Amino acid sequence: MNKKLMRTNYSDKVLLGVLGGIARYFGIKPIILRILFVIGLIPTSFLLIIPYTILSYFMPREQAEESTSR
């Protein structure tokens, strides 16, 4: 099994696709990770935005799937 940590393009993307990509990598629903992220923003005074921004810069984007069926 060859899993890669990548930002999602469309299916699980809300803002930049970071949380959707992490959720896909760990096999959990993206909404659960997004809720935990928002809950985590409150006590940390929005310090989670820094690693989110860094991850959005360094995580590669998922390649768009091209349909080749004719």
Provide the β-strand partners of residue 7: 61
* Tokens (6 digits) for 49: 């935005």
Provide the β-strand partners of residue 61: 7
Write out pLDDT tens, residues 24-55: 899 999 999 999 999 988 888 788 889 999 99
Alpha-carbon span 42 to 40, nearest angstrom: 6
Model pTM?
Answer: 0.76
* Tokens (6 digits) for 6: 């990548």
